[in-house]
Amino acid sequence: MERFVDVLESRVRGRGPVTLFTTDGGHRDRHEAEHFALELAPAATLLCTHVVREPSPHHAVSFELDAPTDFPTRSEREGGRAFRFPGQDALRGSLPVREVVASSAIDRVVGVGCTVTDDTVVDTRNYVRPVYADGLLTLHVTPAASGSVVPLEVEGGHVC
């Protein structure tokens, strides 16, 4: 855990001061919420969707900017799902956990149905969407047939 905290601090040091802003367009469809956020804040380096259960389940969005805006600020990241984040472009193909953590804003990689070490290979499938859990930007991974692990969130999941 200490290692993750070190990595997190070094990254925060490198990124300069940012503010998290939020807005709620009431989108039930997550893709639509993402497009909505990207149109509002094309310059943001970190954008998240957040599930809001009331009054009816939908998505709010949040985004980090280093300049003031008219949007309300947000302090709660927990549960947010980052669809754009620093270092995302580096997460292509297969790479070990230590490299995932070193080269992106992802703080930790957590195995679901498996355990991971720094050497575990993550097959990113070129689609990585970490979530804030326990205050850390977390990539959940599941076992894959090849012996590597893959992100829990699969592009275009079977939702019907």
CB of 36 closer than 8 Å to CB of 25: yes
In three-state secondary structure terms, 58 is strand
The phi, psi pair for 121, rounded to 5°, reads: -90, 125
DSSP letter (8 states) at residue 9: H
Q: Is the Cβ of residue 20 or residue 141 nearer to other proteins in the bound state?
A: 141
Does residue 140 bind other proteins (CB under 8 A)?
yes
Does residue 31 bind other proteins (CB under 8 A)?
no
Does residue 5 bind other proteins (CB under 8 A)?
no
Give kind and range of the element (H or E) at residue 4: helix 2-15
> What's the distance, CA 127 to chain centroid?
11
Does residue 159 bind other proteins (CB under 8 A)?
yes
Q: Is the Cβ of residue 33 or residue 44 nearer to other proteins in the bound state?
A: 33
Does residue 59 bind other proteins (CB under 8 A)?
yes
Options 55, 68, 75, 126; binder of other proteins; rule CB under 8 A = 55
Does residue 112 bind other proteins (CB under 8 A)?
yes
Does residue 26 bind other proteins (CB under 8 A)?
no
Q: What is the dihedral of CA 129, 58, 77, 115, to 10 degrees?
A: -40
Does residue 126 bind other proteins (CB under 8 A)?
no
CB of 124 closer than 8 Å to CB of 93: yes
Binding positions for other proteins, rule: CB under 8 A:
28, 30, 51, 53, 55-59, 79, 112-114, 123, 140, 142-146, 150, 152-154, 157-160
